[in-house]
Structure 1
Amino acid sequence: MKVLITLLMGLFSVAIIAQDKSEGYQFETIYDLDATCVKDQYRSGTCWSFSGLGFFESEMIRLGKNPANLSEMFVVRHCYSDKAEKYVRLHGSLNFAGGGAFHDVVYVLKNYGMVPEDVYSGLNYGEKNHVHGEMDEVLKGYVDGVLKNRNKKLTTAWKNGLEGILDAYLGELPETFEVEGKTYTPQRYVKEAMGINPDDYIQVSSYSHHPFYSKFIIEVPDNWMWGEVYNVPLDDLMSIFENSLKSGYTVGWAADVSEKGFSYRNGLAIVPESNIEELADSEQSKWEAMTEAERQKRLYSFDEPVTEMKITQEIRQEAYDNYETTDDHGMQITGMVKDQNGTIYYKVKNSWNTNNKYEGYLYASDAFVRYKTMSIMIHKDALTKELKKKLGIK
């Protein structure tokens, strides 16, 4: 009897395992690179700083350095200061807000250095988490007031006033600090503790309104620095993702997350194919029998893999031209997986805390990445020799 019960229990367990494998998304790891813990930007528009520094924290690990928790608000502070000066010089014809881009992070590393989070938390205003609504409004009101003044010329005090606001909210910037008994300046910390050369990092995109294999200033509102990206065809862009991960480099990912197929709670970003005529014959009859409401519910249930759109250069460009693809969010890609149907997904580290299905991570399908990538940040050595030659990169 015990043997029979044991056998039955074993068969029952096998049945459960088989059932589990047939349900939901089942991911098999292809590449999985080291990354630091998931952080929380909370109620601040600083995803670009969180993802950019997450990228550089992974770079420190790759370079054999002690992984650090770097200060996102050190970057934000310097960018707000320099952005204000440019905003005033341009008579207000510049987007002045909390948003930014990967260029900003590299710019701060190169020009101002870096400090750890415990040296500069940027929480100088009575909050435990980053809540920037008041600060953003105060800074915008201040620089607009500078522009509207009736003196007909700028005073020598306006920049000091701005720095006073930044000091009040984020804290005064440190000139030196200690880490493990060693004294650093922010500039020395980048070179010695991080081992980073900011000139080694580039941004890449793929849009046909500029020539391929050249550079252009990417036209998004948050690009206040007018930073340039290298432009490559879509297939080349996708090859960079895989070659980077295969070679041990993570990817900074700027993307549009406003699509219905982006679900942080479910940890997925997909682009379901809603055009029945594009589905295989075996699937068409099943979907034709459903009402439109039933189709939409099934497509976006996130319960199991669905057929996705085939994204071309033209589809991608049209979405950008029509403002359907916008520069919404910065994240970090740390790996690649495939589902039970062989579809490729990218493992994405987000900065919205860990309260979702995958503890702060999500999986973006190949179709979603092709469709909604605005630009990426990579180490230039993540490029193949052929692409380096085409882009004129040494």
Structure 2
Amino acid sequence: MKKILTTVLTLCVAFTAAAQTPEQPAEEKKTEGYVFTDVKVLPTTPVKNQHRSGTCWCYSTLTFLEGEILRAGGKEMHLSEMFIVRHSFMDKAVKYVRLHGELNFAEGGAAHDVTEGIKAHGIVPYEVYPGFNYGTDKPDFHELSAVLKGYLDAVIAAGDKTGLPLSTAWQRGFNAILDEYFGELPETFTYEGKEYTPESFAASLPIRMDDYVDISSFTHHPFYTQFIMEVPDNWMWGTVYNVPLEDMMAIVDNALENGYPLAWGTDVSEKGFSRTKAIGIVPEADLDGMNGTESARWGKLTEAEKEAALYKFDKPGKEKQITQQMRQEAFDNYLTTDDHGMVIVGTAVDQAGNKYFKVQNSWDALPPYDGYWYFSRPFVEFKTISLMVNKNAIPKDIRKKLGL
């Protein structure tokens, strides 16, 4: 009897399990997520870590230039971010005081701050000037920024209040603060057995700063002209070449196809930007692909529920078709802001065949892709503020229209 009962129970359990399998609740099934396959990835230097500093503009642009050095046949090297940042603070301070504080004095900047900084001051390797003279081995500006701005505001306030000329000491005083936080700047140094100045080292590199231009795409200025990009971090009032959206993307495609990386200024405040998934997308409900029941169910969802469904990042889905007007309206209404700088180093596809750009970030070599991110083509079309690229990577017909 015991043997019979055991057999019956075994059959019941097996039958029950088999009967339940097709009816497994959806939430118990594992989702596939995003699976990326790299199509083309350009040589680049290791992922860096900007840590607690708003210096992505410098980290990304120097990584971009390091990639350009590799492309030009040079050796792999790590250029000093803090050498540029420290000079940038000084140059920005002079302008801030001249404008009575009516300038954005902060940690942020733009790609041209780096190329113009190298033109004006040269550059040095990281090992010559790490720039951490305040007790850490990574950037940490929580105190530094407050101290620098406080000093400058005091100088401006004293001049405005008294009406007397500014002292001849304020710039020396500011430079002394920079020395204490970053370390004194090297006038000469030895690198791989040769002696250099920052200027001569810059001249020894197989790239030239005059070859790099900024590209953007907005309609509030004429196409194929230059304009000053109206974002707070553009303290230098640097200009960009303005082209239609399709030309901007043609420049990106042509650059990558021919082995040129791009420094990318973009907006990472979007809901489609996931720090944990390391992806950026611009999702849209696929109403055309829904059957009648699904469409009816979608229509009954609240806006919050629709948004939650769109930004689950559980699998590839339909994305918006980006237009020039969408770009402009988002920029005009502060929906596209100048938040972050990275480097576009390659292309990829997901398991559904959708196209992405592989992007190198400066937030350390973190999972899931060791410091690299994947941004969909619509995201780059929609949220690009500006791109820095070697002018020789621009298609000839576009270059001609720009007068390059």
Normalising to structure 2: TM-score of the pair? Answer: 0.89
Equivalent runs, 1:273-352 vs 2, <5 Å = 273-274=284-285, 279-282=287-290, 285-286=293-294, 288-290=296-298, 291-292=301-302, 293-352=304-363
* 1:165 paired to 2:174: no
Shift of 1:179: 1.1
Can you list the C-alpha shifts for 1:23-79, whole angstroms capped at 9, x where unaligned? 322323222101111111001000000000000010111111111011110110011
Cα 1:44–1:283 change in 2 (3 A) is farther
Displacement of 1:286 in angstroms is: 2.7
The counterpart of 1:132, out of the listed 108, 124, 141, is 141
Alignment of structure 1 residues 348-387 onto 2, 5 Å: 348-387=359-398
| Partners of 2:73 and 2:206 within 8 A in 1 | no
Match of 1:109 among 118, 129, 132: 118
Question: CA–CA distance in 2 between the matches of 1:216 and 1:40?
Answer: 32
Q: Write the deviation string for residues 254-288 of structure 1: whole angstroms up to 9, x where unpaired.
A: 000000110122010001114x6xx3243675354
Give the AA of the match of 2:216. S
Which residue does 1:176 correspond to in 2? 188
Q: What is residue 80 of structure 2 aligned with on the other side?
A: 71
Spell out the pairing of 1:105-254 with structure 2 (5 A cutoff).
105-149=114-158, 150=162, 152-192=164-204, 194-254=205-265
Distance 2:154 2:291 in 1: 60
CA RMSD of aligned residues (A): 1.7
C-alpha separation in 2, matches of 1:217 and 1:37? 32
Q: CA deviation at 1:121?
A: 0.8
Aligned pair count reads 370
Shift of 1:180: 1.0
Q: Which residue of 1 aligns with 2:6?
A: none
Q: Which amino acid aligns with 1:309?
A: K
Q: Give deviations 1:329-374, integer Å, cap 9, x for gaps.
A: 0000000112222211110100111223111111000111111000
Matched residues, percent identical? 52
Q: Which amino acid aligns with 1:314?
A: Q
- Specify whether residues 263 and 80 from structure 1 end up closer, same or farther in structure 2 by C-alpha distance, changes over 3 A only: same
Q: 2:104 — aligned with what?
A: 95
**Matches of 1:283 and 1:376, distance apart in 2:** 41
The higher radius of gyration belongs to 2
> In the alignment, which residue of structure 2 is the partner of 1:388?
399
SS in 2 for 1:390: helix
What amino acid maps onto 1:229 in structure 2? V
Query: Does 1:26 find its partner at 2:35?
Result: yes
Q: Is the 8 A contact 1:202 1:229 kept in 2?
A: yes
**3-state SS of 1:124 partner:** coil
- Structure 1 pair 160/253, CA: closer, same or farther in 2 (3 Å)? same
Distance across 2 between alignment mates of 1:356 and 1:239: 31
List structure 1 segments (4+ residues) > 4 angstroms apart after TM superposition: none
Question: Letter of the aligned partner of 1:32 in structure 2?
Answer: V
* Deviation of the 1:151 alpha carbon: 5.7
Q: 1:26 to 1:91 in 2, by over 3 A?
A: same
How many Å apart are 1:300 and its aligned residue? 1.4
Matched, 1:38 2:47: yes
Q: Secondary structure at the match of 2:290?
A: helix
Read off the aligned partner of 2:294 and give its amino acid letter: K
- Give the TM-score, by structure 1 length: 0.91
**Contact 1:106-1:198 at 8 Å conserved across structures:** yes
The correspondence for 1:263, drawn from 274, 289, 299, is 274
Matched, 1:59 2:68: yes
- Preserved CA contact (<8 Å) 2:58 2:114: yes
Q: CA deviation at 1:319?
A: 0.3
- Unpaired runs of at least 5, structure 2: 1-30
Instruction: Please state whether the residue corresponding to 1:147 is helix, strand or coil.
Output: helix
Q: Is the 8 A contact 1:264 1:362 kept in 2?
A: no
Q: Distance in 2 between matches of 1:185 and 1:27?
A: 44
Question: What displacement does 1:295 show?
Answer: 3.5
Distance 1:284 1:270 in 2: 26
How far apart are the structure 1 equivalents of 2:145 and 2:239? Answer: 26
SS state of the match for residue 289, structure 1? helix
**Offset from partner CA, 1:214-263 (integer Å, 9 cap, x none):** 10000000101100000000011011111000010000000000001101
Q: 1:216 to 1:285 in 2, by over 3 A?
A: farther
Where in structure 1 are there 5+ consecutive unaligned residues? 1-21
Other structure's SS at 2:240 match: strand
Q: Does the 8 Å contact 1:48/1:102 carry over to 2?
A: yes
**Distance of 2:98 and 2:52 partners within structure 1:** 29
CA distance in 1, matches of 2:188, 2:292: 65
Cα distance, 1:167–1:288 mapped onto 2, change above 3 Å:
farther
Is the 8 Å Cα contact of residues 244 and 382 (structure 1) preserved in structure 2? Answer: yes
| 1:264 and 1:356 in contact (8 A); partners too | no
